[in-house]
Structure 1
Amino acid sequence: MGILDTVIIFLYFAVLIAVGIIGSTKAKTTEEFALAGRNLGLFMYLGCLSAVILGGASTIGTAKLGYEFGISGIWFVTMIGLGIILLGTFFIKRISKYKVTTISELLGKKYKSEARLITAIVASIYTLMVAVTQVIGMGTIINVLLGWNLTTSMFVGGGIVLFYTILGGMWSVTVTDIIQFVVMTIGIFAIMLPMSIVKADGIGNLLTKLPESHLSLTSIGYQQIFQYFLLYTLGMVVSQDIWQRVFTAKNPSIAKKGSMYAGLYSIAYALAGSIIGMCALIILPNIDNTQNTFAMLALKILPTGILGLVLASVISALMSTASGTLLASSTLITNDILRQYFIKDISDKKFLVLSRVTTLAAGLLAITFAVWIQDVLVALDVAYAILSGAIFVPVLLMFFWKKSTANAGFYSILASTVVVIGGLLIEGLSSTNPIMYGIVTGFVVLVGISLLTNYRNKASLVGSFSNTKQG
């Protein structure tokens, strides 16, 4: 990579660090640190939501899938977009009625405090794992571009994200997300996609030279498509990093419209990424590690200066999701675990300090895990499997079934979490079955205990009435 491209990327890093410093002057309360004061308009909300859902796994992963499976690679990110559309259509109006900070806090209000604790643990692990995938992606990109050691690359990328997130919280994350949203939109749609098609000698040549299977929407396999639905469509509906963005909107109307637009943007992003991967197969037919498809294609086809901008867009996507999920994880830990069970009487000023310290600890842990795990899609699958299998059913029935009871919700979350983790350990991290086991277990336990509890309460009420009448 040329000196000019390197300078552009480092200037971009410098801007993000500057935003973090400025953001530290804005985040004076815990609500401002966690939710940017609940005051975002439509464009700001759309930008930061789109930036957080389309991270490194979306960009790098979709290009990889497009290279391996063709147009069928769209399903990964398309299912993410579908999840956001479902969230906006059916859930946001109901969520907005509650002035809460986390999904576990809301579940605690509906069910019981123990449900809040176990949900916070599960959701914080999930968000931390998503942050890990982004650090892996940053390390991979920086390693390819600058030739640095992979571990060093992860520490540099992760360290920058950690710096501005600790200082400004959601204020810094929001401002950097808007920058990143603009940069990644220009980089993918205005530069990388058209130039990839041109270098592949046009769409006509692409359709002629690609294997026939690469032109099929189902070549990736129905089982894999269904797995993406279970992992990402259901996962988006109950994801704390997404909910935390929802809570930043100025009103429910903005939250709903912004979510719908972000979902549609994700589907367009999926199509662009898959086509870029397909072009890479024609231009670079012998890539050994397909996880490097996007970076290697960019190095091959883009001129000096433009290359730096496009690669900054990829790093943007990685950093925006990393900062959002990192903040979500620390918010869950501080708000639903530490404050509820260990440090109950604490001033807002001290709680803000605690939030920053927790964010630091979570960030260092994410970087450490990233050094151990190398495949972004595998790490992401594990995170979403636990989330979808353990929490989706209790959240769904909380809003749409009035007979659910407190104990039923708690035991549903507990049982399905155990089943999903056990299933992953027994059947393997890539198996879809544990998610289904968890969903079925959660549904049976929640409905069964709720019906039994309601029956006993009704029988007790009838007995009391009968005794009163006889007396």
Structure 2
Amino acid sequence: MGIIWTIIVVYMIAMIGIGFYAKTKIKDSNDYHLAGRRLGPIMLAGTLAATEIGGGSSIGVASKAYGEWGLSAGWYVVSAGIGIILVSFIAPFMRKTMATTVPEIIGRRYGKNSYAISSILSLIASTALAAVQITATATIVHVLTGFDLTWAILISGLVVVFYTFLGGMWSVTLTDFVQFFIIVFGFAIAVPFALSNAGGYETVIANIPPERGH
């Protein structure tokens, strides 16, 4: 248990440390909100991938797969990947507009009402995404350590808000980039151990209820 707590604390301190580092890269509001529009393809790919394969795609999809969705829960991750590929074709045109947000682009084309509606929808979606990611983080802490879930949510939320407050978009991008590698390599290491402890791939497949295997 001591090792688990150490890893969790070091991880959170590292994320806050990245926030302080990101703060040094900020010289104006453009740097804070848009990372100075200097993010290259690799950094953008990293932050998008980390967002899509974060808590929602790991904890959330696994929960749904063991719940009422079965293996079809995997389509969430597949469709997200397809979406990122499609965005790569649209992004250059959006960048040329020099807009700050997607609702701003919609507002320019379709007027103020469309701007207001898309802004509200974007706010709701972003709030829900943040809530899911923070809850997923807190759930992991709760399951691994037995720490109270409510306090885990509050602390996880404060850490995320704090490092985002420090470095703005730079903080979000850099932490996402680091988290992407942690997720990918972490799963690459964890999955073989998990399958071995469960009796092997064949045993796992054989124990999937028929109604969950579609």
With the length of structure 2 as denominator, give the TM-score of the two structures: 0.90
Aligned to 2:6: 7
Cα deviations across residues 432-469 of structure 1 (Å, max 9, x unaligned)?
xxxxxxxxxxxxxxxxxxxxxxxxxxxxxxxxxxxxxx
Superposition map of 1:307-322 within 5 A:
none
Superposition map of 1:86-125 within 5 A:
86-89=86-89, 91-125=90-124
Contact 1:138/1:158 (8 A) holds in 2: no
Aligned to 1:163: 162
CA distance in 1, matches of 2:121, 2:204: 44
Aligned to 2:145: 146
Aligned to 1:60: 59
Decide whether aligned partners of structure 1 residues 180 and 213 sit closer, same or farther in structure 2, where only a CA change above 3 A counts.
same
Aligned to 2:203: 205
Contact 2:4/2:144 (8 A) holds in 1: no
Aligned to 1:76: 76
1:196 deviates by 1.8
1:111 deviates by 1.9
Contact 1:19/1:164 (8 A) holds in 2: yes
CA distance in 1, matches of 2:82, 2:134: 25
CA distance in 1, matches of 2:120, 2:205: 47
CA distance in 1, matches of 2:65, 2:121: 32
Aligned to 2:21: 22
Decide whether aligned partners of structure 1 residues 26 and 196 sit closer, same or farther in structure 2, where only a CA change above 3 A counts.
same
SS at match of 1:81: helix
CA distance in 2, matches of 1:209, 1:79: 27
1:17 deviates by 1.0
Runs of 4+ with deviation above 6 angstroms: none
1:70 deviates by 4.2
What number of residue pairs does the alignment pair up? Answer: 213
**AA aligned opposite 2:154:** F
Cα deviations across residues 85-141 of structure 1 (Å, max 9, x unaligned)?
23234x224323311110111112112233223321221122112111222222222
With the length of structure 1 as denominator, give the TM-score of the two structures: 0.43
1:176 deviates by 1.0
SS at match of 1:125: helix
CA distance in 2, matches of 1:82, 1:200: 31
Greater Rg by CA: 1
1:213 deviates by 4.1
Aligned to 1:378: none
1:52 deviates by 1.6
Q: Which has the higher contact order (CA 8 A, sep 6+)?
A: 2
SS at match of 1:210: coil
Contact 2:50/2:180 (8 A) holds in 1: yes
Matched, 1:192 2:190: yes
1:47 deviates by 1.1
SS at match of 1:64: helix
**AA aligned opposite 1:11:** V
CA distance in 2, matches of 1:31, 1:17: 21
CA distance in 2, matches of 1:67, 1:191: 22
CA distance in 2, matches of 1:211, 1:163: 43
Contact 1:33/1:170 (8 A) holds in 2: yes
Q: What 5-or-longer segments of structure 1 have no aligned partner? A: 220-471
Aligned to 1:39: 38
1:185 deviates by 0.6
Quote the RMSD (CA, aligned, Å).
1.9
Q: What 5-or-longer segments of structure 2 have no aligned partner? A: none
Cα deviations across residues 182-238 of structure 1 (Å, max 9, x unaligned)?
1111111x22211122122222333333334444xxx3xxxxxxxxxxxxxxxxxxx
Cα deviations across residues 23-61 of structure 1 (Å, max 9, x unaligned)?
122122111111111112232222111112222121111
Decide whether aligned partners of structure 1 residues 65 and 115 sit closer, same or farther in structure 2, where only a CA change above 3 A counts.
closer
**AA aligned opposite 1:137:** A
CA distance in 2, matches of 1:56, 1:113: 35
Cα deviations across residues 155-185 of structure 1 (Å, max 9, x unaligned)?
1000000000001001111111111111111
**AA aligned opposite 2:74:** I
CA distance in 1, matches of 2:116, 2:71: 42
Contact 1:51/1:178 (8 A) holds in 2: yes
Decide whether aligned partners of structure 1 residues 212 and 119 sit closer, same or farther in structure 2, where only a CA change above 3 A counts.
closer
CA distance in 2, matches of 1:154, 1:173: 19
**AA aligned opposite 1:88:** S
CA distance in 1, matches of 2:205, 2:16: 44
Decide whether aligned partners of structure 1 residues 196 and 145 sit closer, same or farther in structure 2, where only a CA change above 3 A counts.
closer
Cα deviations across residues 366-393 of structure 1 (Å, max 9, x unaligned)?
xxxxxxxxxxxxxxxxxxxxxxxxxxxx
Decide whether aligned partners of structure 1 residues 214 and 97 sit closer, same or farther in structure 2, where only a CA change above 3 A counts.
same
Contact 1:57/1:133 (8 A) holds in 2: yes
Aligned to 1:85: 85
Decide whether aligned partners of structure 1 residues 119 and 212 sit closer, same or farther in structure 2, where only a CA change above 3 A counts.
closer
